[in-house]
Amino acid sequence: MRLIPFFVAFFCLLACVKKTAPEKIFNSSLQLGSTDNITTKSLDKVVRGAYRIPSSAGVDIDLDGKMDFVITGIRPDSGHANFNPPIYFSISSADSSSALCTSIGTYSTYLSHAFVQAYTSSSLLHNGYYTYHTFEHKLPNDTLYNVHQNLVELATKRKDQVLSRDEVFLTGSLDITGKCSISSTTISSTPVLVKYNIVVDYTTRRLVNPGDEIYLGVKLTRNNHTLLGWIKLYFDYNSALFVKETAIQS
């Protein structure tokens, strides 16, 4: 009979013990575009870059009200009023807990020459003689200019490809479209014709072309967990970059 109070107390103690939910385990990889254990959010943010004036859009991947990445577009100043680099886009981590999937490769740049009749102003003709250092062949007679070893850039992916934790993720700022600088000097000038020598030097590759839809893999560190996700981008034919969707493991 003395054992009865003991068992009653023991079972009461078990009933009072707080049950804890098992710790969430996140997969070490995911398929881009999948909705399996993924929280997605459709967006329609657009980034357009104007001359010297950056345009930007913040991206909140895990929907906690804080920006994880910032995408920026700008047409930088070339130092010459008549010739300007194209708009280029980049993406930056907001802090050290938000990283971007990258790749490392060896790529060549090529020397290309071209003549462009730039414009006519007040009966004055402006002619530009271009020299390109570019990662793409522009003309059949382009020659090798330089070889870039171990070039780090964004890993652009397509739908249904796999993103894995084993890939290389980095924080910081990385270019989405090719970044270049332009320098120009006046060759000659007459009352009717001005000739310029213009050098266009690309330092990063163009990773997206008009009409492309790409996925950027991301990795977030939250509460000692590593979460994988993506940002889906679309580049239109008017040099605008659209943020179409974000996703994160859940």
pLDDT in tens, 59-81: 999 999 999 999 999 887 665 55
What single-letter amino acid sits at 55? S
Beta bridge partners of 227: 220
127-167 pLDDT, tens digit per residue, is 888 888 999 877 788 999 999 899 999 999 999 999 999 99
Segments of the chain scoring below 50 in pLDDT: 1, 6-8, 10-11, 13-15, 17-18
Helix (H) or strand (E) holding 12: helix 3-16
pTM score, whole prediction? 0.81
* Phi, psi (rounded to 5 degrees) for 112: -135, 140
C-beta separation of 114 from 130 below 8 A: yes
Per-residue confidence (pLDDT) for residue 125, from 0 to 100? 82
Q: Encode burial over 125-161: b for 16+ CB neighbours within 10 A, e otherwise.
A: ebebebebbbbeeeeeebeebeeeeeeebbbbbeeee
Q: Which residue(s) pair with 100 in the sheet?
A: 170, 218
CB 204 within 8 A of CB 219: no
The pLDDT score that the predictor gives to residue 223 is: 87
pLDDT of residue 81: 52
Rounded to the nearest 5 degrees, what angle is found at the Cα of 21, between the Cα atoms of 20 and 22?
Answer: 115
Ranges assigned E (strand) in 14-97: 29-31, 38-47, 55-59, 69-74, 88-93
d(CA 203, CA 200): 10
